[in-house]
């Protein structure tokens, strides 16, 4: 097929040359480029495979009549050809390269203003920047200047691509310099030794970039804000990608500017600034001067009068896994302050140094912006819990209590009031963003020591959320996840009272009939997860399934899931099938006798396979049989399973959905594995099966989970 | 301008506004929560209710066995239920000129006001309000008259006895003013006084004020009212909604620039989001039906039920409830369902467009066609033969004290499979259920109140910016049970004026202008002189005639010529001396020019002192002061009349005369 394509390529190029600007859709060009990329990636020379391309490129370059999409395509194609050193040489010899990558050429033609062309130029440039030849070309043609100009381009796509390309330039400089220093044998050296002049070129580029960054990281007037944000993002990206010593050079170059920027206390710059500090901080030695200056910067920010900046700085300290425990402890205290103020739970002891910050944060919490502040506090709780207990400002159990109190305050139906800041209640009540963040925090806190004391409170609050008519589906989903998580870490469910269980059952039953499919789906998923949760101890000190403790076991769950098989939403049907498999797995493993209910389910699943118009449900149905066959202790003695598998196989193989087919093959493979348990190499199918098995796992990591 | 508050119920208001020379009653709400103190009226004999023990005080001194019955620790009056009427002693109701009705829930006390009080005015309401209001009244009368109770309990109302009763009877106020339900005849008589109005239609009241209804978005034909004179505007905002339900959307912009905005009828459930409640209603309904139980929905026969049926129309298929029968039982069920379909112009835009299509605006028509929804006037007759369980029944009254709902409570109350779902927010569900205890049936409270919540109303007020807001006192503090929720109250600058039952408020704005008409011939005789570009003034001498609140300036009638006297010698009577009117002055005295003029006239020693209001000129040689102020000039000189006159003339040179 490739040869056919190659033979038609000259004609395609001809059409493209003649099409001018009349190409309404450039997806065909993207496809063409994909094909060239595939050829190039196989190691073959693109020019050898398609010799007509050089001619095409030079014709387009000299002919401005082509539309911007074709020009952009040509620039990218030139880059692709120049990726290999041979291709690069050919392009250079026919003087196409200079012309194509000369921005003045496009500016004079009045085409540079089109972002489509600029992005083609950048991407083409990025592609050729693979070898020292290209870098020399880049330096000689002084392309660094236009590239730097594009860093803050008005088009976000162009600016982002320019950022990536600059990183590529620096990485190449770095790798070539290290080659130059080490004088090790390298493919770059073999072809083209790194001359002194070239090394100077590289350092010239690095110096120019350092100057540029230093000059751009300024905020003298508000109009510079977007540009400054963009440069900070670029800087963070560069610091993450390049290693020492280049990273240290860049850092030293911008350090003064960064320090100056911090003093502007512009809150819009806080997040990108933190990203820079975090990126710079990782991997730096403690005694390295810039590191100490970075730490000083963080201290400055931690002591500012703007609570939003202080909170972000504290979060950055915790994320940077700082070695100084007092530093981390202070940051944890700062982050817990909003929670302390809002809930009135005393998480922090009296500390005069924080008094001023407490006043500032309390003021901030009376405004609508309190939402983001509380969310920053909650989303950093995982980091706080990682701290050593002696550095924590309070026992983790207290943090759980505070989060629970916050959740109560956020719940619309709750009449709880706190000893904390009253004004904040109007903003957080019913706010699903805060609710989700708090539930996330509660998920993490399940691992905290000593939480058994608050177990009942946790389940009460979660039941309240599951019951509340105002709970958003995403909040319901998080609540369910929290229940599963807390059940998982709870060795003893004896605290679950009848009243609590009754309330919980009512809530789950109601959510299974919710008008929003997302809520029904989460409920059904939850039932499956609870069915699959490991056993724990209950009132009678006996091993009990959590679903028995919470919901009274299969007698409650299975009818509810059976009902969900009829759900009008295919996602819910699929989830209910998976949940049934999870719920019934223990009884399959035990080899328990089949019930009428299970027979009904099988009949319904066959109906799904035959009639359901949506692929999700049919896929889940096949996976149900896979789960059954894998879990069943003695498949051959289970008549219903043996009777239904052939139907599933014949139906699944003819299904139009490829995933259904795939799962059917998995089922067949499982059947073969069970039929021929001895992996005898003499059996041809056994070998085939094993290979197929590995292929599936590699190709579809999630295809085995049901 | 005064406001008399006859009802303390924030959503069932009854206020009287005295504005200019008119007396306008704003709504006529009937507080029916008093019926919760009474025993239910069963449609068929209830052995349970008839066996309830009578109440005797603990010491045995008071025996009201016949009047009061005890059930599950609470005491109920065994008599025809009675309602708490709007206050009738605060002002003479016969002086009321007009009654403006904002929606059909707020007119239920109308017969008590218009009949037997000497009321001779007019009631204004929109057509759907009148028609559906009539249905609700008919239904109420029907519920009461269907099960007449001969006995009328009055002994318990004796102050001394009531003091000894257990709560909440002990705390009930004004029990002597409670009244039994009106008759159909009174309803008809009251409604015959209603004059229909359309949205934005302007109705002149005695030439003094103009009233106009605006769409309020709450129910079919529901309105807010604008009451305005030429220079003052009062807005009356009653039950309003910004949600997209069936009625026409709320007209907000016409409320702008009000001097006073009277705000009533906010949601009674500020923490219950109607969408969430609707979802809750559907899931509880489906849950019960799937478990094989019946669902009882105590509701009014109009209003939220249309939205409930529409929501269920979409839900029943997806929840596999296609085969479950839905029954709507009310003496006015049929009319209610049909009326809703014909008030096209009062519906939201989406439903209005459906009027031109074959399908009716509300989907309940399709539910009826496909036999999924059946309606009956009562449980007797056809219903009993078609009744199939499990089912969903919508029926009244939401207080659970009368109507067909009483029967279903008795019938289904014993089984925990059944559920009663409360959707109307007017009654506390726990109080409503009290005489049915012990109850095995599940109870779900999903109050659906689409009226404005505090968040929406603050936004609205920010937009329309009234100078003053008057509202029930309940809106000025957070609910008792949620005292920390400062967002569940009105926080305004200046703070709203709160009212309670029997308050009389002096509304805080003074009328400063009145429009006066001038007859053409008089206008012709005027000599205007321009005081500043575009503003001319003229003096006028005329006779002011005030009639029907219209003021007109007419020419002064010429004195009739004196009849010639026969006695020639008689000295002619002197005609009355008519002094030429003093010219009116306007303008300001410019200081520099005035000083120059003074100098020209030989006054040179002038000391100028600047004051807060202008200048004081001290003519030192003459020992005279001239105070030049914005609105007056004083010349203070002792016993030197020629100098004063000279100075006066100099001042007058700078002023314009009319």
Where exactly are the structural domains of chain A? 400-413+423-650
- Structure letter (DSSP) for residue B480: G
The pLDDT value recorded for residue B225 is 97
Report helix, strand or coil for B104: helix
Question: From the centroid of its chain, how far is CA A168?
Answer: 23
Rg (CA), chain B: 35
The pLDDT value recorded for residue B571 is 52
Average pLDDT (A115-128) is 91
Average pLDDT (A599-613) is 93
pLDDT tops 60 at residue A182: no
Average pLDDT (A453-469) is 90
Q: pLDDT, tens digit, for every residue of A247-257? A: 888 888 888 88
Per-residue HEC secondary structure of B404-468 comes to: CHHHHHHHHCCCCCCEEEECCCCCCHHHHHHHHCCCCCEEEECCCCCCCCHHHHHHHHHHHCCCE
The pLDDT value recorded for residue A27 is 80
Average pLDDT (A548-576) is 87
Question: What angle (nearest 5°) sits at the alpha carbon of residue B159, between those of residues B154 and B165?
Answer: 80
Contact B3, B507 (CB under 8 A): yes
Q: How far apart are CA B120 and CA A367, in angstroms?
A: 54
Integer angstrom CA distances of residue B183 from A48, B37, B84, B115? 102, 22, 16, 11
Domain residue limits, chain B: 2-41+80-149+179-267+451-506, 42-79, 274-445, 585-657
Model confidence at A100, pLDDT cuts 50, 70, 90, reads: confident
Cross-chain residue pair A515–B271, CB shorter than 8 Å = no
Model confidence at A700, pLDDT cuts 50, 70, 90, reads: very low
The pLDDT value recorded for residue A571 is 95
Among the partner-chain residues B273, B318, B484, the one whose CB lies closest to the CB of A422 is B484
Among the partner-chain residues A415, A514, A516, the one whose CB lies closest to the CB of B482 is A415
Cross-chain residue pair A415–B481, CB shorter than 8 Å = yes
Q: What percent of chain A has pLDDT over 70?
A: 88
Q: Which of A472, A441, A460, A331 is nearest to A391 (CA)?
A: A331
Cross-chain residue pair B271–A469, CB shorter than 8 Å = no
Q: How far apart are CA A562 and CA A556, in angstroms?
A: 11
The mean predicted confidence, pLDDT, of chain A is: 82
Model confidence at A190, pLDDT cuts 50, 70, 90, reads: very low
Q: pLDDT, tens digit, for every residue of A305-350? A: 888 888 888 888 888 776 678 888 888 989 999 999 999 888 887 7
Tally of residues, chain A: 706
Cross-chain residue pair B279–A469, CB shorter than 8 Å = yes
Rg (CA), chain A: 32
Q: Which residues of A touch B (CB under 8 A)?
A: 412-413, 415, 417-418, 422-423, 425-426, 429-430, 468-470, 509-516, 563, 566-569
Report helix, strand or coil for B149: coil
Integer angstrom CA distances of residue A307 from A303, A310, A435, B394, B475? 9, 5, 22, 55, 34
Nearest CA in chain B to A417: B484
For chain B, which ranges sit under pLDDT 50? Answer: none
**Residue B620 forms contact with A (CB below 8 Å):** no
The pLDDT value recorded for residue B107 is 96
Q: Which of A368, A425, A515 to mutate to test the interface with B (most CBs of B within 10 A)?
A: A515
Q: How far apart are CA A137 and CA A143, in angstroms?
A: 9
Q: Which of B220, B272, B166, B212 is nearest to B488 (CA)?
A: B272
Q: What is the pTM of this model?
A: 0.77
Structure tokens belonging to residue A145: 């200047």
**Residue B286 forms contact with A (CB below 8 Å):** yes
**Residue B479 forms contact with A (CB below 8 Å):** no
The pLDDT value recorded for residue A696 is 43
Cross-chain residue pair A510–B287, CB shorter than 8 Å = yes
Q: How far apart are CA B613 and CA B632, in angstroms?
A: 10
Q: Which of B272, B274, B484 to mutate to test the interface with A (most CBs of A within 10 A)?
A: B484
Instruction: For residue B53, give every residue at least 6 positions away whose Cβ sits within 8 Å of its Cβ, in sequence order, or none.
Output: B65, B69, B70
The pLDDT value recorded for residue B469 is 96
Q: pLDDT, tens digit, for every residue of B535-548? A: 888 888 899 998 88
Q: What percent of chain A has pLDDT over 90?
A: 26
What pairing do the DSSP bridges indicate for beta strands B585-586 and B656-657? antiparallel
Q: pLDDT, tens digit, for every residue of A197-206? A: 666 667 788 8
Q: pLDDT, tens digit, for every residue of A21-63? A: 666 677 888 888 888 888 888 877 777 778 788 888 888 877 7
The pLDDT value recorded for residue A197 is 60
Cross-chain residue pair B319–A513, CB shorter than 8 Å = yes
Structure tokens belonging to residue B85: 């009427």
The pLDDT value recorded for residue B268 is 93
Q: How far apart are the first and last CA of chain B?
A: 36
The pLDDT value recorded for residue B576 is 56
B274-445: what fold?
A: Rossmann fold (3.40.50)
Model confidence at A699, pLDDT cuts 50, 70, 90, reads: very low
Question: What angle (nearest 5°) sits at the alpha carbon of residue B439, between those of residues B434 and B445?
Answer: 70
Q: How far apart are CA A547 and CA A536, in angstroms?
A: 10
The mean predicted confidence, pLDDT, of chain B is: 90
**Interface predicted TM-score (ipTM) of this complex, two decimals:** 0.74
Residue B303 CB: number of other CB atoms within 10 A? Answer: 27
Which chain B residues touch A576 with a CB distance below 8 Å? none
CATH of domain B585-657: 3.30.310
Q: How far apart are CA A228 and CA A217, in angstroms?
A: 6
Which chain A residues touch B479 with a CB distance below 8 Å? none
Q: How far apart are CA B68 and CA B57, in angstroms?
A: 11
Average pLDDT (A80-96) is 85
Cross-chain residue pair A425–B487, CB shorter than 8 Å = yes
pLDDT tops 70 at residue A537: no
CATH of domain A400-413+423-650: 1.25.10.10
Among the partner-chain residues A412, A425, A470, the one whose CB lies closest to the CB of B484 is A425
Which chain A residues touch B446 with a CB distance below 8 Å? 469
The dihedral region occupied by B24, where left means phi > 0, alpha psi between -120 and 50, and beta the remainder, is: beta
Instruction: Name the least confident of A262-271, A412-421, B338-347, B381-390.
Output: A412-421
B2-41+80-149+179-267+451-506: what fold?
A: Metallo-beta-lactamase; Chain A (3.60.15)
Among the partner-chain residues B277, B283, B487, the one whose CB lies closest to the CB of A513 is B283
**How far is it between the farthest Cα atoms of chain A?**
87
**Residue B269 forms contact with A (CB below 8 Å):** no
Contact B130, B196 (CB under 8 A): yes
Q: Exposed (0-12), middle (13-18) or buried (19+): which is A587, by Cβ within 10 Å?
A: middle
Q: Which of A415, A469, A573 to mutate to test the interface with B (most CBs of B within 10 A)?
A: A469
The pLDDT value recorded for residue A180 is 54
């Amino acid at each position: 097929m490739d040869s056919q394509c190659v033979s038609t390529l000259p004609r395609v190029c001809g059409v493209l040359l003649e099409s001018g600007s009349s190409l309404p859709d450039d997806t065909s060009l993207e496809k063409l480029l994909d094909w060239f990329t595939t050829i190039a990636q196989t190691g073959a020379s693109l020019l050898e495979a398609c010799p007509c391309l050089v001619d095409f490129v030079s014709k387009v370059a000299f002919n401005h009549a082509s539309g911007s999409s074709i020009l952009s395509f040509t620039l990218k194609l030139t880059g692709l050809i120049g990726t290999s050193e041979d291709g690069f040489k050919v392009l250079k010899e026919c003087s196409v390269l200079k012309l194509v990558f000369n921005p003045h050429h496009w500016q004079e033609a009045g085409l540079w203003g089109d972002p489509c062309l600029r992005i083609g130029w950048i991407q083409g440039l990025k592609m050729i920047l693979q070898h020292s030849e290209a870098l020399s070309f880049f330096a000689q043609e002084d392309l660094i200047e236009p590239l730097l100009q594009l860093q803050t381009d008005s088009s976000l796509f162009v600016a982002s691509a320019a950022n990536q390309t600059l990183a590529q330039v620096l990485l190449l400089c770095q790798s070539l310099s290290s080659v130059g220093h080490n004088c090790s044998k390298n493919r770059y050296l073999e072809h083209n030794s790194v001359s002194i002049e070239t090394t100077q070129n590289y350092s010239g580029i690095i110096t120019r970039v350092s100057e540029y960054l230093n000059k751009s990281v300024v905020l003298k007037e508000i109009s510079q804000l977007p540009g400054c944000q963009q440069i900070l993002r670029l800087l963070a990206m560069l610091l993450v990608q390049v290693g020492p010593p280049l990273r240290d050079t860049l850092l030293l170059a911008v350090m003064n500017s960064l320090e100056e920027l911090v003093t502007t206390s512009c809150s819009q710059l806080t997040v990108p600034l933190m990203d820079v500090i975090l990126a710079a901080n990782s991997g730096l030695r403690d005694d390295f001067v810039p590191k100490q200056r970075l730490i000083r910067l963080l201290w400055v920010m931690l002591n500012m009068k703007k609570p939003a900046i202080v909170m972000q700085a504290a979060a950055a300290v915790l994320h940077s896994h700082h070695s100084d425990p007092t530093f981390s402890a202070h940051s944890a205290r700062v982050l817990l302050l909003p929670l302390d103020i809002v809930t009135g739970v005393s998480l922090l002891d009296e500390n005069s140094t924080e008094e001023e910050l407490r006043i500032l944060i309390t003021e901030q919490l009376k405004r609508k912006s309190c939402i983001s502040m509380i969310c920053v506090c909650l989303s950093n709780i995982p980091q706080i819990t990682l701290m050593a207990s002696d550095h924590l400002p309070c026992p983790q159990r207290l943090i759980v209590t505070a989060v629970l109190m916050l959740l109560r305050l956020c719940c619309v139906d709750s009449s709880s009031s706190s000893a904390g800041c009253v004004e904040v209640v109007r903003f957080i009540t019913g706010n699903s963003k805060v609710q989700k963040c708090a539930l996330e925090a509660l998920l993490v806190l399940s691992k905290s020591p000593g939480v058994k004391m608050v177990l009942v409170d946790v389940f009460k609050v979660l039941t309240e959320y599951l019951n509340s008519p105002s709970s958003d589906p995403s909040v319901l989903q998080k609540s369910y996840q929290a229940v599963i998580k807390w059940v998982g870490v709870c060795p003893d469910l004896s605290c679950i009272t009848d009243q609590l269980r009754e309330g919980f059952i009512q809530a789950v039953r109601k959510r299974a009939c919710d008008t929003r499919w997302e809520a029904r789906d989460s409920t059904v998923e939850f039932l499956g997860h609870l069915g699959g949760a490991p056993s724990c101890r209950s009132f009678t000190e006996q091993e009990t399934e959590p679903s028995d403790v919470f919901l009274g076991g299969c007698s409650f769950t299975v009818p509810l899931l059976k009902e969900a098989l009829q759900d009008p939403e295919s996602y819910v049907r699929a989830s209910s099938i998976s949940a049934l498999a999870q719920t019934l797995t223990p009884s399959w493993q035990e080899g328990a006798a089949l019930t009428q209910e299970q027979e009904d389910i099988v009949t319904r699943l066959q109906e799904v396979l035959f009639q359901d118009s949506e692929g999700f449900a049919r896929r889940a149905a096949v996976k149900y049989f896979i789960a059954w066959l894998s879990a069943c202790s003695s498949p051959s003695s289970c008549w219903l399973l043996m009777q239904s598998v052939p139907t599933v196989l014949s139906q699944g193989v003819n299904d139009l959905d490829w995933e259904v087919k795939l799962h059917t093959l998995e089922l067949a493979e499982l059947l073969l594995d069970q039929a021929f348990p001895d992996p005898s190499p003499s059996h041809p199918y056994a070998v085939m099966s094993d290979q197929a098995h590995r292929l599936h796992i590699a190709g579809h990591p999630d295809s085995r989970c049901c | 301008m005064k406001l008399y508050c006859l009802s303390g119920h924030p959503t069932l208001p009854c206020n009287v506004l005295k504005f200019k020379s008119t007396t306008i009653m704003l709504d006529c709400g009937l507080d029916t929560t008093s019926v919760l103190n009474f025993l239910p009226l069963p449609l068929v004999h209830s052995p349970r209710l008839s066996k309830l023990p009578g109440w005797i005080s603990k010491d045995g001194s008071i025996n009201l066995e016949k009047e009061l019955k005890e059930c599950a620790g609470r005491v109920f009056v065994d008599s025809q239920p009675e309602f708490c009427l709007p206050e009738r002693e605060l002002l003479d109701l016969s002086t009321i000129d007009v009654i403006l009705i904002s929606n059909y829930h707020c007119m239920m006390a109308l017969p008590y006001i218009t009949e037997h009080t000497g009321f001779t005015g007019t009631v204004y309401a929109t057509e759907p309000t009148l028609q559906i209001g009539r249905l609700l009244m008919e239904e109420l009368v029907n519920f009461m008259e269907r099960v007449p109770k001969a006995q009328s309990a009055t002994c318990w109302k004796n102050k001394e006895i009531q003091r000894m009763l257990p709560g909440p009877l002990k705390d009930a106020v004004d029990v002597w003013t409670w009244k039994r339900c009106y008759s159909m005849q009174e309803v008809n008589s009251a409604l015959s006084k209603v004059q229909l109005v359309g949205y934005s239609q302007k109705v002149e009241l005695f030439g003094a004020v103009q009233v106009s209804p605006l769409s309020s978005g709450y129910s079919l034909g529901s309105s807010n009212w604008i009451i305005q004179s030429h220079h003052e505007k009062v807005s009356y905002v009653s039950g309003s909604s910004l949600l997209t339900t069936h009625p026409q959307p709320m007209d907000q912009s016409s409320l702008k620039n009000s001097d006073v905005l009277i705000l009533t009828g906010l949601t009674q459930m500020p923490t219950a989001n109607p969408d969430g409640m609707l979802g809750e209603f559907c899931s509880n309904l489906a849950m019960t039906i799937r478990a094989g139980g019946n669902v009882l929905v105590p509701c009014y026969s109009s209003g939220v039920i249309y939205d409930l049926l529409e929501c269920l129309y979409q839900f029943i298929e997806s929840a596999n409830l296609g085969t479950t029968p839905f029954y709507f039982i009310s003496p006015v069920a049929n009319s209610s369902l049909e009326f809703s379909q014909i008030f096209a112009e009062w519906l939201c835009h989406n439903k209005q467009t459906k009027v031109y299509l074959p399908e009716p605006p509300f989907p309940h028509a399709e539910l009826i066609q496909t036999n999924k929804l059946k309606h009956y006037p009562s449980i007797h007759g056809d219903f009993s033969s078609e009744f199939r369980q499990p089912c969903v029944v919508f029926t009244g009254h939401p207080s659970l004290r009368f109507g067909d709902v009483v029967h279903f409570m008795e019938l289904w109350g014993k089984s925990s499979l059944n559920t009663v779902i409360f959707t109307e927010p007017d009654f506390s569900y726990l109080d409503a259920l009290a005489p049915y205890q012990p109850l095995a049936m599940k109870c779900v409270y999903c109050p659906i109140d689409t009226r404005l919540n505090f968040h929406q109303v603050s936004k609205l007020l920010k937009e329309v910016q009234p100078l003053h807001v008057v509202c029930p006192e309940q809106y000025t503090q957070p609910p008792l049970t949620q005292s920390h929720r400062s967002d569940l109250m009105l926080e305004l600058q200046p703070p709203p004026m709160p009212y309670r039952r029997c308050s009389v408020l002096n509304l805080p704005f003074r009328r400063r202008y009145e429009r006066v008409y001038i007859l053409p011939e008089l206008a012709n005789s005027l000599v205007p002189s321009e005081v500043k570009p575009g503003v001319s003034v003229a003096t006028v001498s005329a006779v002011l005639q005030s009639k029907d609140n219209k003021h007109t300036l007419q020419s002064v009638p010429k004195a009739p010529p004196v009849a010639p006297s026969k006695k020639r010698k008689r000295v002619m009577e002197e005609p009355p001396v008519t002094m030429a009117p003093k010219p009116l002055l306007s303008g300001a005295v410019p200081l520099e020019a005035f000083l120059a003029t003074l100098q020209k006239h030989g006054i040179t020693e002038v000391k100028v002192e600047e004051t807060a209001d202008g200048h004081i000129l001290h003519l030192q040689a003459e020992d005279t002061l001239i105070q030049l102020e914005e609105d007056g000039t004083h010349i203070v000189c002792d016993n030197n009349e020629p100098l004063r006159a000279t100075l006066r003339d100099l001042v007058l040179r700078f002023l314009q005369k009319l």
